[in-house]
Amino acid sequence: MEYLEQILVPLGGFSLVTYHLWFLYQLIRHPTKTVMGINAVNRRMWVETIMEDQSKNGILAVQTLRNNIMASTMLATMAITLGSIISVLITRGWGVSIPATSDSTTSSSMSVGAGSTDDVIVTVKFFSMLTCFLLAFLFNVQTIRYYSHGGMLINVPTTKWPELSRSKATEYIVRVFECASYFWSLGLRAFYFAFPLFMWIFGPIPMFVCCITMVFVLYFLDVSFDEECMSVTSPSTIVVDP
């Protein structure tokens, strides 16, 4: 029953990739219909508010950035730990194998449940998960980098900048925080992609079901259904830099 693996696995991966291409289109062309686009508007207002009065909002900025850096550090640590465990499994040749049996019916049913047990396919499964965790680690490290830079820049009073450069300075700091936010989102997406790959170990059917379920879940997490937010925000105020 290896044909299930040849059909369901590509279909599951195609559904996830197609959804994210559609979401990227929505984020660029209709940002106020997405949660990330609305968050970008609020992030810009937050940066401008913090920089208006450092004496009142400085502690708030430090606490907010500290929480974000701690969350990114936790995810980066989790990603590199899981990646190290999978690396050990690959190098030692561990995988999911079907025990030999003389009963052809039992062997066939186990093949349907576990998919292909070829060593190469099993290695591909683990290597795909390893790639996702390594990407999650790199994205979260970049998140920490941008938040660290932004924490220093946002505490510089606007009065220190020349009057003609203040708007450009604010815009630059907003872009720094937007990059941090987008890397954070990419790190989470890498974790999301790793989950169907993990289910692939148990067979193509669990992997396909997980992909379809995740598409529906991500749709309700990514799309904004708040009409009031859509009406009060303008797409021209959002800077999207995927």
pLDDT at 230 over 80: no
pLDDT at 59 (0 to 100): 81
| Cα dihedral sign, 92-93-94-100 | negative
Which amino acid is located at 78 in the chain? M
Which of 195, 190, 188, 186 lies closest to 214 in space, CA to CA? 195
Residue with the bigger pLDDT between 31 and 119: it is 31
> pLDDT tens digits, residue range 181-225?
999 999 999 999 999 999 998 888 999 999 999 999 999 999 987
pLDDT at 109 (0 to 100): 40
160 pLDDT band, cuts 50/70/90, is low
Give CA–CA dist 137/180, Å, rounded.
Answer: 14
238 pLDDT band, cuts 50/70/90, is very low
Mean pLDDT calculated for residue range 83-108:
61
> pLDDT tens digits, residue range 55-85?
667 788 888 889 999 999 999 999 999 999 9
Tokens of 36: 């990330």
Give CA–CA dist 68/60, Å, rounded.
Answer: 12
CB 181 within 8 A of CB 40: yes
Q: What is the mean pLDDT of the chain?
A: 81
pLDDT at 124 (0 to 100): 86
Phi, psi for 84 (deg, rounded to 5)? -65, -40
Helix, strand, or coil here: 223?
A: strand
Q: Which DSSP string do the residues of 9-51 spell out, in sequence order?
A: HHHHHHHHHHHHHHHHHHHHH-GGGBHHHHHHHHHHHHHHHHH
215-224 burial string, b = 16+ CB within 10 Å, else e?
beebeeebeb
Stated pTM of the model: 0.80
Radius of gyration of the chain (CA): 23
pLDDT at 4 (0 to 100): 78
Give CA–CA dist 156/97, Å, rounded.
Answer: 59
Kindly list the distances between the CA atom of residue 121 and the CA atoms of 92, 97, 131, 201, in Å, as whole numbers in the listed order: 15, 11, 15, 10
237 pLDDT band, cuts 50/70/90, is very low
Which amino acid is located at 201 in the chain? I
Q: Given 3-state DSSP classes, what are the helix, strand and coil percentages for the chain, each rounded to the nearest 5?
A: 85, 0, 15
> pLDDT tens digits, residue range 13-29?
999 999 999 999 999 99
Residue with the bigger pLDDT between 52 and 44: it is 44
* Total residue count of the chain as it appears in this document: 242
Query: Could you tell me what percent of the chain has a pLDDT over 90?
Result: 43
Which of 164, 230, 219 lies closest to 31 in space, CA to CA? 230
